[in-house]
Amino acid sequence: MTRVLSCIQPTGDVTLGNYLGALVGWVRRQSDVDAFHGVVDLHSLTTIHDPGIIGSNTLELSTVLFAVGLDPSVATVFVQSHVPEHAQAAWLVECVSSVGELQRMTQYKDKAAKAKGFVSAGLLMYPTLMAADILLYDADEVPVGDDQRQHVELTRDIAIRFNSRYGDTLVVPKFVAPATGARVMDLQEPTNKMSKSGDSVAGCVFVLDSPVDIMKKFKRAVTDSDNEVRFDRESKPGVSNLLEILSAATGTSIDQLATEFTQYGALKVAAGEAVVELLRPVQERYRTLSGDPGEVMRALRVGADKARAVAGPTLGRMYRAAGLLPA
């Protein structure tokens, strides 16, 4: 089976955009590929500094992943820091990476420019840890959006360089566009992707939002002034966003939905109600799982054991190739 690696950071609540755009696809594919899904908590240390937050975020995110339908007996769901091979492999990766190529990474330049005074070395070395995340699992495919494509290309360069220096050791992964999910935009700023890092959460629906809050956000969604329901992302981004969300939530085509509504108010209510019903079983499952955190931790231990069964031998190959003295 094709081995696929997709990871997610525990930096905040899971949004409707995360769910429809990525997690639904993870669940759908988990039986068709050898799926590895990491909650990459070590990466979060570059942005979250208060103790205790990352741990609680990691448990909550892991609970959500199981609640949406990832099966720990099928997919390998693990926490990055529970697999020490990640940090160990990162050093080997760093030693075949150049400072120049790391300084050229777009995300490093953007975040360093926004930093006030202190710039963490972790921001610079972030791509080498991400490369280790990928290379440890001999991943054939890494589905990521365009904003992460540069990281996968760097990972490929690093793998090729490591193999050139030490012999054929690492699988060179392939960048693939993620399976097409719904394109979910901010309800208040429909030209921007729905994101937990936006200026306001008023237009961002979270998977664990209450039905009341979900309906409130949809009823206040920005549309336009001509009151014509049709799909046109360029000239009618707000209406188009509502139609796309409603289509993803109900399975009804956008073209059909556009003929069923003549008023924006009714479209907003229908989209909100559809999302409430879509998320209801996820939230119910989440409440059950969050009431038994020991079961979630058990599932994560299973995932960590499965992850280490793959990552350990890969790290061993890297050590041997680099000529380190066996323990």
Catalytic residue IDs: 111, 193, 196
Contacts of 278 by beta carbon, 8 Å cutoff, 6+ apart: 249
* Cα 43 from Cα 53, distance rounded (Å): 13
Nearest CA among 319, 327, 304, 326 for reference residue 93: 319
Nearest CA among 11, 2, 39 for reference residue 23: 39
Q: CB under 8 Å, gap of 24 or more: what pairs does 19-23 form?
A: 19/68, 19/207, 19/279, 19/282, 20/181, 20/182, 20/184, 20/245, 20/248, 20/249, 21/178, 21/181, 21/182, 21/183, 21/184, 22/178, 22/181, 23/65, 23/68
SS3 call for 235: coil
Backbone angles phi, psi at 98, to 5 degrees: -100, 150
Nearest CA among 171, 150, 164 for reference residue 4: 171
Beta bridge partners of residue 78, listed in sequence order: 38
The residue with tokens 């360093």 is 112
State the sign of the Cα–Cα–Cα–Cα dihedral 19, 64, 289, 71. positive
Q: How far is CA 151 from CA 74, 160, 192, in A?
A: 27, 14, 23
